[in-house]
Chain A
Amino acid sequence: MLQPEARNPRRDWLGVLARAPAPVLEAALASIGTLPAYKRLRPPEAGLVMARGRIGGDGNPFNLGEVAVARCAIAMDGGILGVGYALGRDLRKAEVIAVLDGLLQQPSWHGRVASEVLEPETARQTQSRTERAAKVAATRVNFFTLVRGE
């Protein structure tokens, strides 16, 4: 979304986690050590979301095609609901995201998960996007006018 809107921190971290490579998340979870117990509310499952486009880019919506999505929802003590959604069919990744989402909502865990997982991963994603953009920018045409001879 381009419109400035009140940032929802949970929306932001779920976006970062969804884009993170599964091994990074798995390693992060392992380094955290003993996790609080949790229950699977929605066991990990793969499914489809119909992606929509807009006619002309900004007009009425239409159905473009489906994207594969994995998701999971878990419950932790204190009525915490952890949710994981990511493109692809990696069920384990969806569950790891749900657990990290559950931890990030708890003040006792938030700081640690944010500094050990979220911040480095956000930085890596920004860095990778910036690098790609620099390479793409190098393909921009710089027109110049030829001076015609006599």
Chain B
Amino acid sequence: MYVATKGGETAIANAHALMAEDRRGDPKVQEIGAEQIREQLSLGVDRVMAEGSLYDPDLAALALKQARGDQVEAIFLLRAYRTTLPRFGYSEPVDTAAMHVHRRISATFKDVPGGQILGPTFDYTHRVIEPVTAAEEAPRSPEPLPYPLPRVAGVLGREGLLEDTPTACEEAITDLTREPLRFPADRAARLQVLARGDEGFLLGMGYSTQRGYGRSHPFAGEIRMGDVAVEFVAPELGFAIDLGDITLTECDMVNQFKGSKTEPPQFTRGYGLVFGFGERKAMAMALVDRAMRAEELGEEVTAPAQDIEFVLYHADNVEASGFVQHLKLPHHVDFQSELTLIRAMRTEQEALKEAAE
């Protein structure tokens, strides 16, 4: 039974005022603007967009500011905001082969067509904390970047050593913002959950497969990050137009596969695609996507990352955070009844003990 109680309004209002004051920090230190966050903390903004499942850098930067830098809180703000906007429709599938890349590497082929392009990476830095100074303009190459850059998958694919991507039906693509998650969940539904899933959760899950919980012998076939056009068929026009460009990170993980009754030994694939520059997340997503294909590929399902329900029900940080954090809401009455119960049990046990003596 729920008992409604009143009170606490003033305390709540004052708590929010105190939070706002703390959020501002020392007033002698200059306040930052959402623009500064968008431009200078862009990877934080990217993560908020990816897991908030809403691409809007200005809004994500504002959410990060309001949330005092708490990513999951900012993600929650974005998710809440999106429910206030009407849905215009679905884009044409983005063409990542036509990406204007800022980074493209392959761990499987040294001499990948177009070359290994490192882009704006933290890799190979010394991870030594030093004061960030004004950036010098980055050097330019006189040799132009090839466009478009061919996919690494094409290299293995030509020999038939790499599984093909599924290209069966295109109707009825599950959209979890419109319908509940149902099992068995098809790969499109799984990828939608992973794309908005918590990076930390997916990283842990992906890591567990590398450590032996559902080993899949992965190689980073290709990682590419860059700008891709979003095309949309405007109802007023009847043809697709570009809405603009978004930054995406894509990971094509290739995994050794010894074959099954129907499939010859080959490389299978796991796929990762996320909003913004989110390489760690895209790689983890690809590992987990592949792990969840265990049953489909006739592998034994023994590890948590291979358990589709387990992964999909626990990947969303807005849901997880809500359920964990609801525990701090008043449970005074529930707890009173538990207390009465425990006391009664104790009395009973003591009575039994006395009777036995």
Contact = CB atoms under 8 A, between A and B. Distances in A.
B140 A57 contact: no
Interface in A31-71: 42, 45-69, 71
Contacts of A27: none
Interface in A74-117: 81, 83, 85-89
A146 interface: no
Interface residues of B, number: 89
Contact of B101 (A2, A19, A52, A136): A136
Given A57-B250, A133-B100, A141 B273 contact: no
B338 interface: no
B170 A66 contact: no
Given A49-B90, A50-B175, A134-B144, A64 B195 contact: yes
A49 B232 contact: yes
Contacts of A14: 241-242
A7 B246 CA distance: 23
A51 B55 contact: yes
A138 B144 CA distance: 9
Interface in B83-104: 85-98, 100-103
B287 to A, nearest CB: 15
Nearest to B251: A57
Given A49-B90, A51-B91, A67 B97 contact: no
B192 A63 contact: yes
B243 A61 contact: no
B61 to A, nearest CB: 13
A61 B87 contact: no
Interface stretch (B2-10, B111-119, B200-208, B318-326): B111-119
Nearest to A52: B93
A30 interface: no
A85 to B, nearest CB: 5
Contact of A129 (B100, B239, B250): B100
Nearest to A14: B241
A68 B144 CA distance: 33
A139 B124 CA distance: 13
B96 A85 contact: no
24 contacts: A1-B98, A15-B229, A49-B90, A50-B87, A50-B89, A50-B177, A51-B91, A51-B94, A54-B93, A56-B153, A56-B252, A57-B96, A57-B273, A60-B169, A64-B192, A65-B49, A67-B243, A89-B59, A134-B142, A135-B139, A136-B145, A137-B144, A137-B145, A139-B118
Interface of B: 49-50, 53-56, 58-59, 82, 85-98, 100-103, 110-111, 115-121, 138-145, 147-148, 151, 153, 164-170, 173-177, 187-189, 191-192, 195-196, 229-232, 234, 236-237, 239-246, 248, 250, 252, 269, 271, 273, 275
